[in-house]
Amino acid sequence: MSVADPRSTATPMPGMASGEAGIADVAESRPMRKDVVKRFVGNPLAMIGLTFIVILILVAIFADFIAPMGFAERSDPQISRAGPGADYWFGTDIIGRDVFSRVVYGARVSLKIGILSTAMILVIGVLFGSAAGYFGGWIDTLLMRLTDVFLAIPYIILAISIATVFGRSENAIILVLGATGWLPLSRIVRASFLGLKQLEYVEAATSLGFNRRRIMFGHILPNGLSPLIVQATLGIGTAIIEAAALGFLGLGAQPPTPEWGLMLTDARNFLLNAPWAMIFPGLAIMVTVLGFNLFGDGLRDALDPQMRQ
Using CA atoms, how far residue 302 sits from 191, 226, 308, in Å, is 21, 10, 8
CA distance 235 to 228: 10
- Given this model, what pLDDT does residue 211 score? 83
Which of the listed ranges 1-15, 64-78, 109-123, 254-268 does the model predict with the highest average pLDDT? 109-123
256: cis peptide before it, omega within 30°? yes
- Given this model, what pLDDT does residue 31 score? 58
Residue 239 pLDDT grade (very low, low, confident, very high; cuts 50, 70, 90): confident
277 has pLDDT over 70: yes
Which range (64-68, 121-125, 194-198, 281-285) has the least confidence? 194-198
Output the furthest CA–CA distance in the chain (Å, rounded): 109
Q: Which of 127, 132, 108 is nearest to 178 (CA)?
A: 127
Q: For 23-70, write each residue's pLDDT tens digit.
A: 444 444 455 677 778 888 888 898 999 999 999 999 999 988 988 887
Q: Which domains, ranges and CATH numbers included, belong to the chain?
A: 45-68+98-308 (1.10.3720.10)
* Eight-state DSSP code of residue 77: T
Using CA atoms, how far residue 33 sits from 29, 43, 54, 289, 308, in Å, is 12, 15, 21, 26, 12
Other CB atoms within 10 Å distance of the CB of residue 29: 6
- CA geometry: angle at 174 spanning 180 and 111, to 5°? 120
16 has pLDDT over 50: no
305 vs 181, more confident: 181
Other CB atoms within 10 Å distance of the CB of residue 164: 11
Residue 6 pLDDT grade (very low, low, confident, very high; cuts 50, 70, 90): very low
Residue 305 pLDDT grade (very low, low, confident, very high; cuts 50, 70, 90): low
Helix (H, G, I), strand (E, B) or coil at 98: strand
Q: What percent of the chain has pLDDT over 90?
A: 9
* Eight-state DSSP code of residue 27: P
- Given this model, what pLDDT does residue 55 score? 92
- Given this model, what pLDDT does residue 119 score? 92
61 vs 171, more confident: 61
Q: Is residue 80 within 8 Å of 57, Cβ to Cβ?
A: no
Q: Report residue 97: phi and psi, to 5°.
A: -85, 145
Q: How many residues does the chain have?
A: 309
Q: For 88-127, write each residue's pLDDT tens digit.
A: 788 888 777 888 888 999 899 888 988 999 999 999 999 9
CA distance 268 to 249: 12
Residue 7 pLDDT grade (very low, low, confident, very high; cuts 50, 70, 90): very low
- Amino acid letter at 36? V
Helix (H, G, I), strand (E, B) or coil at 65: helix
- Given this model, what pLDDT does residue 116 score? 92
Q: What is the mean pLDDT of residues 171-181?
A: 85
What interhelical angle do 225-248 and 276-303 show, nearest 10? 170
What interhelical angle do 225-248 and 170-196 show, nearest 10? 160
CA distance 128 to 196: 16
205 vs 77, more confident: 205
29 vs 269, more confident: 269
- Amino acid letter at 115? I
CA distance 254 to 262: 7
Q: What percent of the chain has pLDDT over 70?
A: 86
- Given this model, what pLDDT does residue 283 score? 92
Q: Which helix or strand (DSSP H or E) is residue 229 part of?
A: helix 225-248
19 has pLDDT over 70: no
CA distance 107 to 87: 21
What interhelical angle do 225-248 and 99-135 show, nearest 10? 140
Q: What is the mean pLDDT of residues 251-259?
A: 79
